[in-house]
A and B are shown apart, each in its own frame.
Chain A
Amino acid sequence: MTASTAPPSAPLLTIRGLSKGFLGVQALDGVDFTLRHGEIHALLGENGAGKSTLIKTLTGVYQRDGGTVALEGREIAPRGVEEAQRLHIGTVYQEVNLLPNLSVAENLFLGRQPMRWGLVDRGAMRRRARAVLHPYGLSIDVTAPLGRFSVATQQIIAIARAVDMSAKVLILDEPTASLDAQEVAVLFRVMRTLRSRGIGIVFVTHFLDQVYEVCDSITVLRNGRLVGERRTADLPRLDLVAMMLGRELEAAAHRIDIGPAELDSRPPLASFKGFGKARSVEPFDLDIRPGEVVALAGLLGSGRTETVRLVFGMDRADKGEATVDGQAVRLKGPRDAVRLGFGFCPEDRKKEGIVGELSVRENIILALQARQGWLKPIPRRRQEEIADRFIRLLDIRTPDAERPIQLLSGGNQQKALLARWLATEPRLLILDEPTRGIDVGAHAEIIRLIERLCADGMALLVVSSELEEIVAYSRRVVVLRDRRHVAELRGGEVSVERIVAAIASETPNVEVRQ
């Protein structure tokens, strides 16, 4: 990596009047953006504001409709990612965009493999891959296929790759969405080191704490337009939120009012005894009562996702039994779970959640239709009503319900998935990292909605890396470590400190998987 030679005062990257339109949507409308040397610059805005589009247009994934981009004063117009990379701009796009079939090392060095005698030097590649991952505390088998690793690990690998390539500009589009606090701390340490070398970093996130922790300045977009640029230090949090939403955020959500005593007196909706699967999760006991929010907390790879996959029948348990309403039930697949009134928003929405080419409407009614069976089609009118209701309720930003869901911004896809399950009026809703990629405004809305549903008797099982979020709405927290349920906190015991304490006895930061 070479440090930049230009004087630090001159802007590193200057964007003027950048515009980009898609069929029926003006995603970017004359946006200006300036990135200086040695600066971490937050790019903020609601879901669908145009952040990812700005990044993709800047790096040549999309061809811009208008505007100029200058790197160190020289105009650039990359026609593809390859060209952007040659200009020393490294990017982590939203969602993990690596190749599951290639090894970790091949992913890290795709297109820039170390060569010897005209051939790829695989030994050197392995060695360098280990070195590149070292600062992140990731000591994994770099020859294993990337697909074997969890989303979070893949995310770190994507970051490491971009960092290793970006001698001038590093762009990170929601890199922290699936990371836990410890990983985020590591990432920030790396970002600060790069900043001290004069590299400019563009950082997109929906976690405002993170913005105030590392960013020097903030640019806010709304509906494809520039709202303004500020120094972080000069912008109080409430003002920032107002800038993003164009309005004040209503008071933060409150804890649900039902006391633990009353909840415990209810008969459990679903209960799992000695439930588990070899090589996946140790057998565990879990009761979920109507109206209750149970959260699963733990580090990366601690088995949270695998626990909820078992509960929903996505993976088949080989031990233990499940009962619903006191009746023993079989959970041989998601279909059984859906019939029992369960719903599940998976962690990897692109792979396991959305049906990309189908419309928002079809995605929303899919689970409801599947439960009704193919012989009883939901009439088109009714489908539209349901879709429109949830589009309004969750504020899904889409020109209309007929747009293929893959064209929505990441956060809006997540909301549509939530709508899919809410439409089935589930008795138990399972959410794996539910607010991942969702903006502050929508975040508050969704939490309020969840509370209302719980008040109506729905139970919720949540996996989240946001401990504050967990504390904000759950009455019971199950803590996992090394694929084992190690502690359960109830009612008044639930606090960030106690969760952390339960997690942190010994914390090997290694990928346990595969």
Chain B
Amino acid sequence: MRNRKIIVSIIICILLTLSISGCWNRRELNTFSILMGMGIDKAEEVGKVQLTAQIINVSELKQGGSSNKEAYLAVRSTGDTVFDALRNFTKESNRKIYLPHNKVLILGEDIATEGVQKYIDFFVRDHEMRLRESVLVAKGKAEEILNVKSELEKIPAAGISSLLKSQNATSEATDVDMKDFISRLMSKTTAPIAPLIEISGEEEKKVLRISGMAIFKQDKWVGELEGSKARGILWVIDKIESGIIVVDCPNEEGKMSLEIIRASSKITPELKGDKVSIKVEIKEEGHIGDQECPCELKSHDISSIEKMKTTVIRAEVISALEKARELNTDIFGFGDSVHQKYPKQWKDIESSWDEVFPEIEVEIVVDAKVRRSGILIMPASS
């Protein structure tokens, strides 16, 4: 029984000391503002960073918050480093910025061309940040991107986030989260990629558009791939979710669109002497989604469609590959695959990868299949 008395008194002691020292880390919901999107640009002053933060105006999100104010605020601040700039927000805003709900990190064009390493460290190091946030590169200033209103979403950053997700439908760009980005950044050979976002449309009707993938060399933005070229990367790195491949009708005039249902790829490196060759095997399955020509397709037609599809896919991969060779950046992770297969020889190759990469022979094996024809056996027009 004495034991209990002791325990009770110790509890009282501890509670007392706790109450004396106050509560740390306590922040009520209405003392900070939730950040949804963040953009980094170079400030006009030399050597300074400009942050654009999109924060939530919570009272406008409340049901019945009927005033015509926006549900978000875009605020701006500059500082010597990213963290410095972040803290400088409090000079203008009465609420501290709360990071963990950040959805997108937009790197401005000037930042990206200069090298992102020094700007991105904070977003990985800070305990409030998560590795799931999407990384994008803006054509132009990140600030401008964050100022474009979204038609369907109350908050533009959420709009960008869902815009990225919807890229699955074409697979011409893919969502790259922080973990993917920095693991590519950390790799000695593989170069980071990130979706590229730009503003299109006129003054009053500005809309955002994902235009392709930005290609980095180390941490610098060196080039971009658009449309089907961007899909070329995704074929190789196995990020294809869906999409449309347009081919000509086998015998007649007209076009067909083939929907990609599932795709997978495999990179097999081979080392002969000093020569590195890579075999990329792509397997694809799809349906006929749309057919302009009015003829019924026979089974040999199907195989010719498949052949055409193969050619299209191969062409897309080759165009991406050429771009990569031209920029001499290993966006496909060929280096890592060689490393994984030939760890011993890798040490010799690693140092001269920049010379090796453009010379690599790449064999592309595409196995494309057309499985079903939708709910029609033949077109209605005949």
Whether both chains belong to one complex is answered with: no
